[in-house]
Structure 1
């Protein structure tokens, strides 16, 4: 089954994050029940892949001021049928930033989030089942703003809360901080 690798990653994530059991169960239930979960044409919702990109020294994160949602977020996008969600996150990171050199940090999923996307241009409100991977920029950090963004910015960890109060963004800051502890 093309969904099994993601289901396996979700099980590994659940073991590492027992405090997120409800979200993981909801996410895994959706993936298991919906054969088309990687297709944006699935009107109730679909899997997306995101990248929490940190600088080489880990002190900053690259955020986008998303053009359609008008909010500061991590980079990412639709799977469009690709069940390799890490590959989706890497592709989106490259396309949305112009950066080319990344390495995954750690193994598996960094964070999960299920959030509503408002109705827009004939698309109904739906859910994004967002799988987030931790990536480190290993080359140049000179980014290019794509058409999908109003702006991109390297933000110190302490500055993320000034740009967004979104719980999931602040949760990723804390997860990254914890991973930096000896």
Structure 2
């Protein structure tokens, strides 16, 4: 897997802004919903990648798709108690797609590649801002995750190796199953996957 460390926080912020601008150009109908992320990245007084930033911070996730069986990979999140795509906090070190790929591999054991070829050049398929409930055990109040979600290819026959500290389960599900999950985001993703295929 390709790992590209970005040199400093300013370079990482510029990378995230560039990703946001490309996404906004590709999905102009969603531009109004991206204002909070744009403001977070424009505010140089706070670190948008630090999980200590309770105004909100950047997370990354991966929608892993196996076209041969028309399935996507989901994890059952231990804290939120729901089925979601694998992902987590950005560690402030590298490109957003690399962070997302690492989170997928850590939580599921599945290695991924980009949607089009064997590289990690994965398309940004969705950006979503959502409230996260307080977690007193971690000393965290209510805050917002601004999640950058990348589309990866994966192999549904590969062995799964869940990270049990973080997840309660890992499974491949039919793409259309996403529509039955309680999240407007999954409805968007099914539509976007249809266009990407």
Q: What TM-score, normalized to structure 1?
A: 0.90
Structure 1 runs not aligned, ≥5 long:
none
Paired with 1:41 and 1:120, the residues of 2 have a C-alpha distance of: 12
Q: In the alignment, which residue of structure 2 is the partner of 1:97?
A: 108
Please state whether the residue corresponding to 1:110 is helix, strand or coil.
strand
Residue 117 in structure 1 maps to residue 135 in structure 2: no
Return the TM-score normalized by structure 2.
Answer: 0.84
Paired residue for 1:63?
A: 74
Matched residues in 2 for 1:54 and 1:86: separation? 15
- Is 108-117 or 140-149 further displaced after alignment? 140-149
Separation in structure 1 between the aligned mates of residue 196 and residue 69 of structure 2, nearest angstrom: 10
Q: Secondary structure at the match of 1:36?
A: coil
How many residues are aligned here? 178
- Give the alignment's Cα RMSD to 1 decimal: 1.7
Cα shift at 1:82: 2.7
Aligned match of 1:146 in 163, 167, 181?
163
| Distance (whole Å) between structure 2 residues aligned to residue 138 and residue 165 of structure 1 | 26
Give distance in 2, aligned partners of 1:4 and 1:74: 26
Aligned equivalent of 2:4: none
- Of 11-20 and 135-144, more deviation after overlay is shown by 135-144
Moved over 4 A (4+): none
1:10 equivalent in structure 2: 20
Residue 177 of structure 2 aligns with which residue?
159
Alignment partners' CA distance in 1, 2:146 and 2:65: 22
